[in-house]
Amino acid sequence: MTGVEDGRIKVLADRPAAEKGAYVLYLLQQANRSGFNPALEVAVAQANRLGLPVVACFGLLDGSNGFPEANARHYAFLLQGLSEAAAGLKKRGIGFVMRKCSPAELAVELSKKAAILVLDRGYLTIQKRWYREIVDRTDVRIVQVEGDVVVPVEIASDHHEHAARTLRPKIGRQIEAFLHPLPQAKVKHSAESLRLKSEIDISDPDAVLAGMDLDRSVPPVKRFRGGEGEAWRRLQAYLDGPFADYGTNRGRPEAGAASHMSPYLHFGQISPAEIALAVRAAKQGGEEDKAAYVEEVVVRRELAMNHVFFREGYDRYEDAVPEWARKALETHAKDKRPHLYSDEELVQGRTHDRYWNAAMAEMRETGFMHNHLRMYWGKKILEWSHSPEEGFDRTLRLNNRYFLDGRDPNSFTNVAWVYGLHDRPWARRPIFGTVRYQSENTLKKFDKDAYVKTVEALCAAEKETGAE
Ligand SMILES: Cc1cc2nc3c(=O)[nH]c(=O)nc-3n(C[C@H](O)[C@H](O)[C@H](O)COP(=O)(O)OP(=O)(O)OC[C@H]3O[C@@H](n4cnc5c(N)ncnc54)[C@H](O)[C@@H]3O)c2cc1C
């Protein structure tokens, strides 16, 4: 009994547990946390059953072998989170090995002495490739456990969903079966006696970052510190305060009603099920606020997982954007574009629109932007680019470069949303055709000058020295 729902568990390689295995191996890759981690709990239960310790491992990609589009901003947050995860694992008597190599390589190497290999689960192409490589290159029994969505992707739906309205009822029918607290089992056999060597000492994440060969042109941010403890502290503070008005205020970027959970979710430092349970149990907020939040963190987020899982070319305009929308944009490809900006003008926020520039500054300097501004930001890049293809490519590039939560299924899906994915045709407009347009009127729905002031203060705080 693990408390992990059967629907989360998949046997990827149905081989007997190795009799001479010295441990149960868990490749920590998507769920980078020691608590509320279904894959880890399955590994612990298997190890306890076999009378073995658990060893968790993490393969750190570096240099030319780096994770696609990852830079110092992303790695700093990742390493801070891994440092906490490693401490949490140690406290539970679980070993932790971290090496500079691909996750697949590390799993293949360490599984030679493992009885069973447990994987967690992500949906990006590179992750799917690692899973295939691990299955092909090992002889060990491999179990995969889905812990970073509430309803497992293939249980929610067996095809690419049209829109939130088609996925919502399917999630609604399954959610109660998958939204449970996750008890933490005691580890019966400590890994200490194994004396496994970790090539990397993650107790000092700043030193690990300093020793990496990576793109440092996008620096770490002070606004967000990575880690499961920090994620949980933020969530508690949010639920005790601003969440009370989520239903009414979530569309107002200056009101601070959003939870800022997306970086922690992206790096697997908190479980979406844990968040949804905490939201349901929150003392603040009415039923409407709770339902609105669960809609975002479960339905909208898992619609993104559905998209990248079932649409192989999720990062390419021609595959990610539906045909009706591409045709509509193509029809208007030659429309006059009153404003055209270069990549550099966009990055530096040198457009005629001071509110867009402020949003870009928030993203560039602090790694984050409110959802409503992300929509406006993306629609304007479409409008200010020579072609929809160019707009799509540079929106995705900027998104993944500067956002801490970039390079996520949510990134690919929401950039494609700007171009018509998961949407329907609207009234015809220049440049956009029947793809949804967003005018400057969007900015009238909230206090835009208060937002600019907030961004100025956030950017100034990033520049302060020693103010971590
Ligand atoms: C052009 C564009 C680009 C985006 N890029 C990203 C990205 O790179 N990474 C990313 O995680 N999200 C992205 N989003 C979705 C959304 O804007 C962010 O998830 C949200 O703003 C994160 O802030 P929060 O955690 O405070 O959200 P909250 O409002 O507190 O919501 C809680 C959680 O629900 C989920 N959620 C909220 N809004 C959405 C949404 N529209 N679609 C899917 N899930 C949602 C997120 O996991 C979020 O953390 C993008 C949206 C747009 C329009």
Query: DSSP characters for 252-306?
Result: -GGGT-S---HHHHHTTSS-HHHHHHHHHH-SSS-HHHHHHHHIIIIIIHHHHHH
All residues at 6 or more sequence positions from 300 whose CB lies less than 8 Å from its CB, including other chains: 164
**Atom 21 in ligand 1: which residue has the minimum CA distance?**
371
Pocket test for ligand 1, best of 234, 262, 307, 393 (most atoms within 8 A of CB): 262
Whether 300 is in the pocket of ligand 1, judged by its Cβ within 6 Å, is yes
Q: What is the C-alpha to C-alpha distance for residues 152 and 402, in angstroms, rounded to an integer? A: 29
Q: What is the C-alpha to C-alpha distance for residues 174 and 273, in angstroms, rounded to an integer? A: 13
Mean pLDDT of 15-19: 96
Cα of 175 vs centre of ligand 1, distance in Å, is 20
Cα of 262 vs centre of ligand 1, distance in Å, is 6
pLDDT of amino acid 388? 98
Neighbouring-strand partners of residue 25: 55, 117
Atom of ligand 1 nearest to the CA of 250: 29
Q: State the DSSP H helix or E strand holding residue 248, giving kind and residue range, or none if neither.
A: helix 246-249
pLDDT of amino acid 63? 80
Whether 371 is in the pocket of ligand 1, judged by its Cβ within 6 Å, is yes
Cα of 261 vs centre of ligand 1, distance in Å, is 9
Whether 258 is in the pocket of ligand 1, judged by its Cβ within 6 Å, is yes
Q: Which carries the bigger pLDDT value, residue 387 or residue 195?
A: 387
C-alpha distances (whole Å) from 159 to each of 128, 164, 291, 306, 310 are 17, 13, 25, 8, 6
SS3 of residue 437 by DSSP: coil
**Residue 144 and residue 120 in contact, taking contact as beta carbons nearer than 8 Å:** yes
**Residue 133 and residue 35 in contact, taking contact as beta carbons nearer than 8 Å:** no
Report whether pLDDT(215) > 80. Answer: yes
For the chain, the average pLDDT equals: 96
| Burial of 169 from C-beta contacts in 10 A (0-12 / 13-18 / 19+) | exposed
Mean pLDDT of 452-462: 96
Q: What is the C-alpha to C-alpha distance for residues 308 and 426, in angstroms, rounded to an integer? A: 25
Query: DSSP characters for 357-387?
Result: HHHHHHHHHHS---HHHHHHHHHHHHHTSSS
Cα of 371 vs centre of ligand 1, distance in Å, is 6
Q: How confident is the model at residue 468 (pLDDT cuts 50, 70, 90)?
A: very low
Whether 202 is in the pocket of ligand 1, judged by its Cβ within 6 Å, is no
SS3 of residue 114 by DSSP: strand
SS3 content of the chain, % helix, strand, coil (to 5): 50, 5, 40
Q: How confident is the model at residue 467 (pLDDT cuts 50, 70, 90)?
A: very low
**Residue 52 and residue 189 in contact, taking contact as beta carbons nearer than 8 Å:** yes
Q: What angle do CA 392, 396, 399 make, to 5 degrees?
A: 140
Q: What is the C-alpha to C-alpha distance for residues 256 and 314, in angstroms, rounded to an integer? A: 31
Please state whether beta strands 9-13 and 141-145 pair in parallel, antiparallel, or not at all (unpaired). Answer: antiparallel
pTM over 0.95? The answer is yes
Give percent above pLDDT 70 in the chain.
99
Whether 259 is in the pocket of ligand 1, judged by its Cβ within 6 Å, is yes
pLDDT of amino acid 466? 59
Pocket test for ligand 1, best of 374, 381, 383, 417 (most atoms within 8 A of CB): 374
Atom of ligand 1 nearest to the CA of 304: 43
Cα of 89 vs centre of ligand 1, distance in Å, is 29
Whether 227 is in the pocket of ligand 1, judged by its Cβ within 6 Å, is no
Q: What is the C-alpha to C-alpha distance for residues 389 and 317, in angstroms, rounded to an integer? A: 6
Whether 266 is in the pocket of ligand 1, judged by its Cβ within 6 Å, is yes
Q: What is the C-alpha to C-alpha distance for residues 174 and 302, in angstroms, rounded to an integer? A: 13
| Range from 79-88, 187-196, 246-255 carrying the lowest mean pLDDT | 246-255
Report whether pLDDT(251) > 90. Answer: no
| Burial of 2 from C-beta contacts in 10 A (0-12 / 13-18 / 19+) | buried
DSSP 440: G
The strand ranges marked E within 120-244 are 141-145
Please state whether beta strands 141-145 and 23-27 pair in parallel, antiparallel, or not at all (unpaired). Answer: unpaired
Q: Which residue in the block uniquely carries the two structure tokens 């709990």?
A: 41
**Residue 421 and residue 316 in contact, taking contact as beta carbons nearer than 8 Å:** no
Mean pLDDT of 244-249: 89
Mean pLDDT of 267-278: 98
Domains of the chain: 1-148 (3.40.50.620), 151-184+227-310 (1.25.40.80), 317-463 (1.10.579.10)
Q: Taking the mean position of all CA atoms in its chain, how far away is CA 110?
A: 27
pLDDT digits (tens, 9 = 90+) for 422-453: 999 999 999 999 999 998 888 998 899 999 99
Tokens of 363: 């993203």
Neighbouring-strand partners of residue 97: 57
Among residues 396, 401, 369, 374, the alpha carbon closest in space to that of 385 is found at 396
pLDDT of amino acid 153? 98
pLDDT digits (tens, 9 = 90+) for 33-81: 999 999 999 999 999 999 999 999 999 998 877 788 999 999 999 999 9
Report whether pLDDT(280) > 90. Answer: yes
pLDDT digits (tens, 9 = 90+) for 105-149: 999 999 999 999 999 999 999 999 999 999 999 999 999 999 999
**Atom 32 in ligand 1: which residue has the minimum CA distance?**
297
Atom of ligand 1 nearest to the CA of 246: 29
Q: What is the C-alpha to C-alpha distance for residues 268 and 271, in angstroms, rounded to an integer? A: 7
**Atom 34 in ligand 1: which residue has the minimum CA distance?**
297
pLDDT of amino acid 423? 98
pLDDT of amino acid 113? 97
Whether 262 is in the pocket of ligand 1, judged by its Cβ within 6 Å, is yes
Whether 351 is in the pocket of ligand 1, judged by its Cβ within 6 Å, is no
Neighbouring-strand partners of residue 58: 98
Mean pLDDT of 171-180: 98
Report whether pLDDT(1) > 70. Answer: no
Whether 304 is in the pocket of ligand 1, judged by its Cβ within 6 Å, is yes
Q: What is the C-alpha to C-alpha distance for residues 458 and 468, in angstroms, rounded to an integer? A: 13
Atom of ligand 1 nearest to the CA of 266: 11
Please state whether beta strands 54-59 and 23-27 pair in parallel, antiparallel, or not at all (unpaired). Answer: parallel
